[in-house]
Structure 1
Amino acid sequence: MAVVTAVAAGALAAGALAPSAAFASGKPDTVQQSLNALVKDDGLPAALASVKGRDGRTRTYTAGTGNLATGAKPPVDGQIRAGSNTKTFTAVVVLQLVAEGKIGLDEPVETYLPGLLRGDGIDGHTITVRQLLQHTSGLPEYMAAPALADFIPIQFRYFEPRELLDGALAQKAHFAPGTSFEYNNTNYLVAGLLVQKVTGRPVGEEITKRVIDRIGLRHTYFPTPGDTTVHEAHPHGYLSLPDAPPVDYTDMDTSMAWAAGAVVSTNTDLNTFFTALLGGRLLPPAQLAQMRTTVPADPLGPGVRYGLGLQSRPLSCGGLAWGHGGTIVGYRSRGAVTDDGRAANITVTTVPSDDAAHHMSTALDTALCH
């Protein structure tokens, strides 16, 4: 998810840095050095990465401490909460339904969810499905609602999607639909409700059937209601608080994130997902072309553009990388793939400071360019 109010703590006990998994020869590895710096210099508990290079080989990396209570190292390619990478999964399902003729991209939300979107400056007649997926709807952010202001008391609280939506609709629209871009979780909350209305099935089931099982993501799942654990070996995720020890937030009820951010995955599975998506294995050419049609998204970074649940960003070595990234309490991921088959995903185990977040973006560029 994009909106998390926690700030990164000062230097956490990081533990020993894991040796590079990439080169047995001992040659210095820029990705490993980047992860080491995220732990040592930025004070993040752990950093993990999976990188598929031009040679087609996948290399995995870890740095830091996977469990601050025990001092255990992070598991190689451990499961992580993938946050807003979920938006791309949700967008794929919506676009598959478009390809099947069950949803029109430029139809108003009102066509499918009559009466749902109503509020101050908010009207489902004027917001299209495309604008939801593109973050150009003007809907306000449900994560800004008072019920979500403090993460400590809601770690294991279950939220119905409609309850979350009500928190957004109590606010005023941010702009007229189609007139601006604002990254916003509410758009994908509504997209999840749209999937459920059109298919008659839970959005998690549709994501599982149409995406996860279809391309064999063996370490990826959409948590079912009440499932608060991470199923396989994983680094712990931490809520960083000012002037207080970090809070272990690994186990949580992800209903607060739902279709905008609930998926659990691994760095390698995320690389596989985005590679399959860009390679045409999940969408017909027409819908993939729509997904890759972008608008400026400068708030997400220099040169970043946003399509339909998909971001592009320029690389220092030339060309574009396509992916998404995700933030949820305890984890942040940054990842992308290139049209020539390179792929990288990096995850850290607390929401980083702005400086550390910039270092993550630089590390991703390094992983894809070197």
Structure 2
Amino acid sequence: MSSHLVRHALVIIPNSRHANFAITSLVDTFSRACEPLLGANGRVSVTYGDPPTEAQTPVQADFDGSPLRNPSAEEVARLSTAIRRHEVDFVLGLDIPTISPIYSAFRASGVKSVVSYFGAPMSALNSGVRLLLKRAEIAVRQRGPDHFVFETEAMRSTGVHGRGVPLERTSVVLLGADTDRFRPDPADCWYAHDTLGISRDRKLVFYSGHFEPRKGVAVLMEAARVLCNTRGRRDVHFLLLGNRENEAGPFEAMIAGTPAAEHVTFGGYRNDVERLHRSCAVGAIASTGWDSMTMSSVEMQASGLPLLVSRLQGLPESIEDGQTGYTFTPGSGEELATRIAELVDNDLLRVRMASAARARAERFLSRHRQVNELSAVLEQEHRRNVRRLGRG
């Protein structure tokens, strides 16, 4: 087997295996990106943050639930034994820590490369002495990942200008959607209306994501109040997915007893998201706290939805402003309402942006492109580490 090929690539997901669809999507992407690195009998294994159960594979029984940030000496020794037992020589982890004793144990046990993929910001931005201290910590404590992959330039900035990671140890690989699954289809133009009991004379504004405060669901409700209560619109309807249990309650209260209440549907979690997209006129992500390129943003564009996003951190990188959608001031329900009305009232503009959004997704935001770019980064890093270790 060639020296740069991998015997066993271990994908580490610190989250629960039941966390959400985005995690499932990333696991598939990671596994496919590792495959070109494998030798003739090489394999890829995935471990999760859940404690091991009897039903899991030997690899998962040894690695699932392992602490990564503050492991005890006993836990580090157990991980070292597991690395040797399973002949792991490559590790790709999601949001794994910058500094941890596990890395020294990994390398001493045969791991040649460790890459950390960040789907969340690494740090608040720093400057001056504080940033210098962060950089010094990274330089002195050489026990972290060899390379860091970020989903946007804004997210990379949190590593380089926040945590002090050297720029040369970073790459950006944009998220990708399954463009075969998420695609326009005129046959589903009334699917959401008919499935969810929404009048066909309404154009749908779509949101899918978490309902925590920073995700800006309150801003969407404010836009609904502006359009339906203040401006008297009856041809717009908001469709929001992702609410669990009673999470929609506070937002329903914002519009209770007003005309807007009849123009908002909370759909919870569904497995027909791609078909719902095809009935919608526009997508919206109104985050008010940290956010970057989200899986929903690339899926909506792949489905041909013009996208409205907060002008906040990495979200603007998900669209081409003025071509595939618009950015707006974070927290401004009024500005969001105006942009929605502009797209709802101008069929030619909406169709042009829808076509451009789909074309952008096919070119820059496909799962195929993401896998290929990530695989190239992983192979380049692993080859470099194998050469370095050979010289050592």
What TM-score, normalized by structure 1, do the two folds share? 0.23
Greater RCO, 1 or 2 (C-alpha within 8 Å, sep 6+): 1
